[in-house]
Amino acid sequence: MHSVIESIKKEVKKVIVGHDRLIDSMIVGLITEGHILVEGVPGLAKTTAINSLAKALGLNFKRVQFTPDLLPSDIVGVEIYDQKNGEFKVKYGPVFTNLLLADEINRAPAKVQSALLEVMQEKQVTIGDQTFKIDRPFLVLATQNPVEQEGTYPLPEAQLDRFMLKTIVGYNTIDEEFEIVKRIADNKFEKISQVAGKEEIENLKKEVLNVNVDDAVLKYMLNIVFATRNPQDYGLKELSEYIEFGASPRGSIDLYKASKAIALIRGKDYVTPYDVAEIVGDVLRHRIILNYKAEANDIKSDDILKKILETIKLP
pLDDT at 12: 85
Nearest to 55 by CA among 195, 159, 208: 195
pLDDT at 51: 86
What does the buried/exposed string (b/e) look like for 26-54 if buried means 16 or more CB atoms within 10 Å of the residue's CB?
A: bbbbbbbbbbbbbbbeeebbbbebbbbbb
The answer as to whether 162 is a domain residue is yes
In a shared domain, residues 154 and 65: yes
pLDDT at 109: 83
pLDDT at 148: 59
- Which CATH number fits the domain that encloses residue 8? 3.40.50.300
CA 61 – CA 290 distance, rounded (Å): 35
In a shared domain, residues 181 and 215: no
In a shared domain, residues 45 and 188: yes
CA 20 – CA 286 distance, rounded (Å): 20
In a shared domain, residues 126 and 186: yes
CA 49 – CA 26 distance, rounded (Å): 9
pLDDT at 67: 86
In a shared domain, residues 190 and 246: no
The answer as to whether 302 is a domain residue is yes
Whether the CB-CB separation of 59 and 96 falls below 8 Å is answered with: no
Low-confidence ranges of the chain (pLDDT < 70): 1-2, 147-151, 188
The answer as to whether 203 is a domain residue is no
CA 283 – CA 84 distance, rounded (Å): 51
Query: Which of 170, 197, 224 corresponds to the end of one domain?
Result: 197
Query: Which of 139, 166, 197 corresponds to the end of one domain?
Result: 197
The answer as to whether 153 is a domain residue is yes
Whether the CB-CB separation of 271 and 250 falls below 8 Å is answered with: no
Whether the CB-CB separation of 44 and 171 falls below 8 Å is answered with: yes
The answer as to whether 136 is a domain residue is yes
pLDDT at 225: 94
Query: Which of 197, 228, 245 corresponds to the end of one domain?
Result: 197
The answer as to whether 204 is a domain residue is no
In a shared domain, residues 178 and 259: no
Sign of CA dihedral 81, 119, 46, 171: positive
In a shared domain, residues 215 and 300: yes
In a shared domain, residues 102 and 168: yes
CA 130 – CA 276 distance, rounded (Å): 42
pLDDT at 208: 93
The answer as to whether 138 is a domain residue is yes
pLDDT at 150: 61
Q: pTM of this prediction?
A: 0.90
pLDDT at 214: 94
CA 187 – CA 181 distance, rounded (Å): 10
CA 78 – CA 92 distance, rounded (Å): 7
In a shared domain, residues 138 and 270: no
pLDDT at 19: 80
pLDDT at 164: 93
In a shared domain, residues 222 and 189: no
CA 157 – CA 281 distance, rounded (Å): 17
| SS3 per residue for the chain | CHHHHHHHHHHHCCCCCCCHHHHHHHHHHHHHCCCEEEECCCCCCHHHHHHHHHHHHCCCEEEEECCCCCCHHHHHEEEEEECCCCEEEEEECCCCCCEEEEECHHHCCHHHHHHHHHHHHHCEEEECCEEEECCCCCEEEEEECCCCCCCCCCCCHHHHCCCCEEEECCCCCHHHHHHHHHHHHCCCCCCCCCCCCHHHHHHHHHHHHCCECCHHHHHHHHHHHHHHHCHHHHCCHHHHCCEEECCCHHHHHHHHHHHHHHHHHCCCCECCHHHHHHHHHHHHCCCCEECHHHHHCCCCHHHHHHHHHHHCCCC
Residue 291, domain extent? 210-311
In a shared domain, residues 38 and 168: yes
Give the count of domains, the chain.
2
The answer as to whether 42 is a domain residue is yes
In a shared domain, residues 89 and 50: yes
